[in-house]
Chain A
Amino acid sequence: MLLFLAHPLYAAEDARIARGRDLAHDVYKGNCLACHRIPGDSKAITLATIGPPLIQMRERFPDRAALRSQIWDSTVRNAQTIMPPFGRHKVLTEEEIDLIVDYVYQY
């Protein structure tokens, strides 16, 4: 079992999630915590109430691509949203969005 977890493939995935977390928490990048709580992540210190808490992400977004497009430009689904269109306005690069999706999708 331990050998299984130590497999390089999983280590690489952990590294991606760690990078995604850094980007998500960075106020100059994703700054997700300005608006969302992430109860599954004890390092996500915030009292935010603006957006929904990032929980049950697989239930809310069975299609991972839908979550990605929500981050890329959430005004498509909700014209009134306050969420910045991270991809359309190039707040984040395409790769940075992928990393944040990896991080968020585990909750």
Chain B
Amino acid sequence: MGRTFGLTLLAGSMVIGCAFGAPADEPNEDRAALAAFFKDRFPDAPLDDYVYGALIANPGGREQYELIMEFPPFIGDIDVGKRIWDTPFRNGKRFADCFPSGGRGALAGYPYFDDKLGKVVTFENAINACLRANGETEYPYGERQPMGVLTAYARSLSDGSRMQVKVETPAALAHYEAGRELFFRRIGQLNASCAGCHVYNAGNIMRMEIISPVLGHATHWPIFRAGEELMTLQGRFKRCMEQMRAQPFGYNSDEWNDLEYYVSYLSNGLPLKAAVFRK
């Protein structure tokens, strides 16, 4: 463990991949290895607490978070999202008709890999597929409204559901691995990687802020930073890449969808919670 964790992880996965040539349990082994790594670092934290991000290392911050979440300042945005979700399309159908159980608990399986499309399908993709299927215009990715507030509401319908992202075919595994490769890749002028902060330095303080662990990262988007600034998971990818002084790939790019697939898989078993306040 320790500093060689990522390399060990990658090397181990390659061996497994070569030996069996099939998904086997490679992603699950990655997830378990990370959970063990973080257990070492945060010995007292229950696994479910990883959904609180950096607050796992900041009990005072957690208290403040709970207080703010009693009357979230962004509740108005969630209401706007609900109105969009409930407004019938021109054909009379609604978003709820596109998802099992009207969307309740539906988020736990996103993103998933669609073998026919040969692509990772994010929840945002599914929203646009729903619009397309009903003869409506798709929403642009990466915008606060309608896509941001709509998904903030839709994800709240899956509060408490446990993440269960699946990697079941060799093609799916290839996209999972592409996401993992990007996660560990050094990039940009600052030569940083996602893993550099969110694995090896999780719990450490960068200037004044605690760095969050990747475990739990995918469970609670969008967040409302400072209670007001809606930020999606891919919006966070963008901000991170800018901070690394790298050229961001772009919303709904294959790179970010694969990365979202990988980090979401790592949160398997953890409860979803949307939307949440973050500093």
Contact of A50 among B3, B190, B191, B205 (CB under 8 A): B205
Chain A contact residues, majority secondary structure: loop
* Stretch from A9-17, A62-70, A83-91, A98-106 contacting the other chain: A83-91
Shortest beta-carbon distance, B143 to chain A, in Å?
28
Q: Give 6 closest A-B pairs by Cβ, nearest first.
A: A84-B190, A82-B196, A80-B3, A49-B205, A49-B204, A47-B205
Count A interface residues, CB 8 Å.
16
Contact of A48 among B192, B196, B206 (CB under 8 A): B206
Q: Which of B186-211 contact A (CB under 8 A)?
A: 189-192, 196-197, 200-201, 204-208
The residues of A that contact B206 with a CB separation of less than 8 Å are: 34-35, 48, 50
The residues of B that contact A49 with a CB separation of less than 8 Å are: 204-205
**Contacts A34-B207, A48-B205, A80-B200; A89 near B3 (Cβ below 8 A):** no
The residues of B that contact A84 with a CB separation of less than 8 Å are: 189-192
Q: Is the CB of B191 within 8 A of A85?
A: yes
Q: Is the CB of A47 within 8 A of B207?
A: yes
The residues of A that contact B205 with a CB separation of less than 8 Å are: 47-50
Count B interface residues, CB 8 Å.
15
Q: Is the CB of B201 within 8 A of A50?
A: yes
Shortest beta-carbon distance, A88 to chain B, in Å?
8
Residue ranges of A at the interface with B (Cβ–Cβ < 8 Å): 33-35, 46-50, 75, 80, 82, 84-85, 89-91
Q: Is the CB of B207 within 8 A of A91?
A: no
Shortest beta-carbon distance, A68 to chain B, in Å?
18
The residues of B that contact A50 with a CB separation of less than 8 Å are: 201, 204-206
Q: Is the CB of B207 within 8 A of A75?
A: no
CB of B64 within 8 Å of the partner chain: no
Please name the residue on chain B nearest to A84 by beta carbon: B190
What are 13 sample pairs from A and B whose C-beta atoms fall under 8 A apart?
A: A35-B206, A46-B207, A47-B208, A48-B204, A48-B206, A48-B207, A50-B204, A82-B197, A82-B200, A82-B201, A84-B190, A89-B189, A91-B189
Contact of B191 among A35, A47, A75 (CB under 8 A): A75
